[in-house]
């Protein structure tokens, strides 16, 4: 998405006003942190229109209300890709709720981001626990800021290197509980809140392991769960079409995380990029798609 054209007078001479009233316009402003992805400013021009050669207007800048009101919820965010998604969203001026199953670890990393000057809060969440999800939804529902963006990042990979003929059903059940039922429960709980606001962005962090077009053997539980997550994306995107809510899946690639291992070629920053791109799509952005490196990929 390109930045909107800069109004006349911003960064140069201010235009003359036709009356004494206040004139306001939103413009993009480069911050030291976040660049063009940072929130717009609200620029106020006040006073009488000057005569030729007169004194310029005094300009007061303050954060614009609309971007500041955007809020995000990221699951499984105490490390790796989820943590980096939180950081990148917060740098863009989005109020971010970092969630994690381990409360101690989650609070520590949220505090780390707050020390960087970022608006990040923490709430405990175990996506496999209905009570935990209910407490989170109650917390979000009582917050006037609500949730505009949901990033379903929390996942488990319990059958790495195990053949489909050998994986036990308990492993399959636990994988599907975390990677499929958890995101579905959160979507079902939070989409009604998004509908009321007329805006929503849902990003399901999937995997190339769930692509039917190139699927091979092994890791049946994980592959099954990510393919099912893509089904959730397609179904919900169609059901909320036209409501201002966009739903997409993304593959971060092979990333150096606890799950991906230290030999993976991609950094967490690179892995988070497409999720943040989809989380901040404009109103005419795509929905119901599967993306890697900001580009559509086959299912």
Pick the catalytic residue: 157, 181, 222, 277? 222
Query: pLDDT tens-digit profile of 103-115?
Result: 999 999 999 999 9
Distance CA(123)–CA(116), nearest Å, equals 19
Catalytic status, residue 222:
yes
Average pLDDT, the chain: 82
Centroid of chain to Cα 171: 29
- Between strands 200-205 and 290-292, the pairing is unpaired
> Is 16 a residue whose pLDDT tops 70?
no
The predicted pLDDT at position 232 comes to: 98
Distance CA(191)–CA(215), nearest Å, equals 31
Distance CA(149)–CA(70), nearest Å, equals 8
252, 257, 256, 276: which is closest to 88 by C-alpha? Answer: 276
**Residues 205 and 81 sit within 8 Å (Cβ to Cβ):** yes
3-state secondary structure of 256: coil
pTM of this structure:
0.77
3-state secondary structure of 183: helix
192, 134, 186: which is closest to 155 by C-alpha? Answer: 186
Domains and CATH numbers, the chain: 1-64 (no CATH), 70-296 (3.40.50.720)
The predicted pLDDT at position 267 comes to: 84
Centroid of chain to Cα 269: 14
> Is 42 a residue whose pLDDT tops 90?
no
Query: Which are the contacts of 127, defined by CB distance < 8 A and separation ≥ 6?
Result: 75, 76, 101, 133, 154, 178, 181, 182, 183, 185, 186
Q: Residue ranges of the alpha helices (H) in 72-129?
A: 80-91, 103-115
Query: Which are the contacts of 143, defined by CB distance < 8 A and separation ≥ 6?
Result: 71
**Residues 46 and 17 sit within 8 Å (Cβ to Cβ):** no
Q: Residue ranges of the alpha helices (H) in 61-102?
A: 65-69, 80-91
The predicted pLDDT at position 108 comes to: 97
**Residues 83 and 59 sit within 8 Å (Cβ to Cβ):** no
The predicted pLDDT at position 200 comes to: 98
Instruction: Give the bridge partners for 205, in sequence order.
Output: 250
Query: pLDDT tens-digit profile of 239-283?
Result: 999 999 999 999 998 777 777 778 877 888 999 999 999 999 999
The residue-averaged pLDDT of 69-95 equals 96
| Residue 183: band (very low, low, confident or very high) from pLDDT cuts 50, 70, 90 | very high
Residues of the chain with pLDDT > 70, as a percent, come to: 77
The residue-averaged pLDDT of 168-180 equals 98
Residues of the chain with pLDDT > 90, as a percent, come to: 70
**Residues 164 and 215 sit within 8 Å (Cβ to Cβ):** no
Distance CA(187)–CA(209), nearest Å, equals 22
The predicted pLDDT at position 207 comes to: 96
The tokens describing 295, both together, are 């580009």
> Is 173 a residue whose pLDDT tops 70?
yes
Distance CA(239)–CA(137), nearest Å, equals 21
> Is 1 a residue whose pLDDT tops 60?
no
């Amino acid at each position: 998405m390109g930045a909107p054209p800069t109004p006349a007078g911003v960064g140069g001479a201010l235009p003359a006003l036709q009356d004494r009233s206040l004139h306001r316009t939103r413009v993009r402003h480069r911050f030291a942190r976040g660049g063009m992805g940072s929130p717009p400013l609200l620029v106020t021009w006040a006073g009488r229109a000057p005569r030729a050669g007169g004194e310029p207007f005094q300009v007061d800048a303050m954060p614009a209300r609309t971007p500041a009101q955007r809020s995000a919820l990221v699951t499984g965010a105490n490390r790796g890709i989820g943590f980096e998604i939180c950081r990148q969203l917060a740098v863009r001026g989005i109020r971010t709720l970092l969630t994690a199953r381990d409360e101690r670890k989650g609070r520590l990393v949220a505090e780390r981001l707050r020390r960087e000057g970022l608006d990040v809060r923490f709430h405990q969440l175990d996506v496999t626990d209905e009570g935990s999800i209910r407490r989170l939804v109650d917390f979000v529902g009582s917050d006037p800021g609500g949730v505009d963006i949901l990033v379903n990042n929390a996942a488990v990979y319990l059958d790495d290197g195990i053949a489909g003929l050998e994986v036990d059903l308990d492993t399959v059940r636990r994988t599907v509980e975390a990677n499929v039922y958890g995101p579905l429960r959160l979507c079902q709980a939070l989409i009604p809140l998004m509908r009321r606001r007329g805006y929503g962005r849902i990003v399901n962090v999937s995997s190339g392991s769930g692509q039917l077009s190139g699927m091979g053997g092994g890791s049946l539980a994980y592959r099954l769960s990510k393919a099912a997550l893509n089904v959730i994306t397609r179904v919900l995107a169609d059901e909320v079409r036209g409501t201002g809510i966009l739903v997409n899946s993304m593959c971060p690639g092979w990333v150096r995380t606890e799950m991906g291992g230290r030999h993976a070629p991609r950094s967490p920053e690179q892995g988070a990029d497409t999720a943040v791109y989809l989380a901040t799509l404009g109103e005419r952005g795509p929905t119901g798609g599967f993306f890697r490196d900001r580009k559509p990929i086959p299912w």
